[in-house]
Structure 1
Amino acid sequence: MIRLFASDMDGTLLNDKGYISDRTINAVKKLQKHGIHIASLPKSIAKQILTVFERHGAFADIATEYGKTSITNKNTLLSYYKNEVFPAVEQDGKVYFRTWHDFAMMVSKVRFFEGKESLLGCETPIYKISTTFFDSDKINALKDNIHGIDQLHTVSTSKNDLEITHVNAQKRTASLQSIS
């Protein structure tokens, strides 16, 4: 019997355009309807993370069942990508979006909330919070503050980014827990 579903976010739940397709949303909701737990960040922990992000002036790139979610407005999101994400991925020699159309599609799919309290006060589960800074020293300072919060798993795919999930959201951890 399946009791827990653990999945990678980028390229699995989130497609190559950075959002969850309607087909994937429907599949996840079917799993939940059948009592299968999908690991997410408890709102109390998400609040701690978002508070640390605010102190560091970090943009919170939030993944929920809707895909990319923001607690800011569209202009702030666009500024974040222009000033932090694009310079950072260019420095790393990576391609984040294949075309400007792909970027525009991702932006059009973002679900915006009016501040963190609006997101934290609803039933929408938060699966991952991440950020990118062009200045890697800012990422390191953010990591130092995040490490003080229990029950988190943090990973960086480059010196300029930080991804945060619940410790139980890791596929290996979830698999071991479901076996025992």
Structure 2
Amino acid sequence: MIKLFVSDLDGTLLNEHHVISDRTAEAIRALQDNGIEFMVATGREYFSAHQLLSAHNIHCRMINLNGAVIHDDEGNVLKTQPIEAGDFATIIKHIEDPSINATVITDKGFYVSDYENYVQRMKRFINNPHTEQDSGNEDITVAQLSLLYREIKPLSQLDSKQLPVVYKVMFFSSDLDKLGQTRRNIETLPTIDVTSSNHDNLEITHIKAQKGLAIEEYVRTQDYTMAEVAAIGDSLNDRSMIQMVGHSYAMANGVDSIKESARYLAPSNELDGVAQVINQIIDNPPK
């Protein structure tokens, strides 16, 4: 019996327009009505993830930044797992490479190595309707973007002497060889986890800030086990939860290694794969 259903966001719960479809939102509410808890586990920070869910009035616990921050269903912080200052000092040296764009996510906001590039990339990513009925597609302003992601600042303003709490570092590069070498260098740090949500990025967190570990810790507080948890995802930052839960689903649009690790294959996000899986669980619960 499944008592908790955990879903990734991008490429999984979100469709090709980067929103939750009405069909998927309806399935989530049906899941909750049937007494199965729904939880999101995402590489995104809380505010952008919350906007997507609140568009459909969906309330749930949330694992953010791959497990670096965990929120309850009202947005209160339950736990944090930041990167250690010494490790960050090593990681930040790689930002000096001009072929790599970096985003440092902290408790004081976002610090980006290429401010204009970051703003333009996020504007392209976010400019989509919030729901299927909302056909408006107004360009998001820099002010709106800053509100959504709290403060966005140039990385040059990051004060190493008064360093904020660092939850996650992201590297972006079209030079995949350089990105691969950077990954290999950072992976030598014993308290760091390096994963990715796309072929051109790296997501860097504390070794304990992983989706699967965050789910496991939450389950310890409940009256069920990991065997009664289902998780669904599409990319490498989902690997820990796919490997650790009793009922694992990989999206058809997911990377091969995730599809090989998962117990079941779900339809793609373009076909509302999560909704189809949820409805199947409700109608014919796996044993």
Question: Cα RMSD (Å) of the superposition?
Answer: 3.8
Opposite residue 15 of structure 1, the aligned amino acid is S
User: Contact 1:56/1:142 (CA < 8 Å) preserved in 2?
Assistant: no
1:49 aligns with 2:91: yes
Cα 1:80–1:137 shift into 2, 3 Å: farther
User: Which of these residues, 134, 145, 149, is aligned with residue 106 of structure 1?
Assistant: 145
Match of 2:186 in 1: 146
Q: TM-score, normalised by structure 2?
A: 0.41
Question: 1:58 is matched with which residue?
Answer: 100
Pairing partner for 1:121 from 155, 161, 165 = 161
Q: Tell me the matched-pair count.
A: 148
CA deviation vs aligned residue, 1:5-39 (integer Å, no higher than 9, x gap): xx6341x5140599xxxxxxxx79x966xxx5411
User: How many Å separate the matches in 1 of 2:174 and 2:98?
Assistant: 14
Gap regions ≥5 residues in structure 2: 1-40, 52-70, 129-137, 221-287
Quick check: 2:112–2:155 contact (8 Å CA) kept in 1?
Answer: yes
Normalising by structure 1, we get a TM-score of 0.61
SS at match of 1:46: helix
Measure how far apart 1:127 and its partner are: 0.7
Q: 1:40 Cα deviation (Å)?
A: 0.7
Output the amino acid matched with 1:115: S
Deviation at 1:52, TM superposition (A): 2.4
TM-aligned CA deviation for residue 124 of structure 1: 2.2
- SS of aligned partner of 2:204: strand
What are the ranges of 5 or more consecutive residues in structure 1 without an aligned counterpart? 1-6, 19-26, 87-94
- Residue 103 of structure 1 and its aligned partner are, at CA, apart by 6.3
| Aligned partner of 1:77 among 111, 115, 137 | 115
Report 1 or 2 for greater relative contact order, CA contacts < 8 Å, sequence distance ≥ 6. Answer: 1
Does the 8 A contact of 2:111 with 2:158 survive in 1? no
Structure 1 residues 38 and 131, CA gap change in structure 2 (3 angstroms): same
| Largest Rg, 1 or 2 | 2
Task: Work out whether residues 115 and 154 of structure 2, in 8 Å CA contact, stay in contact via their aligned partners in 1.
Answer: no
Residue equivalent to 1:136: 176
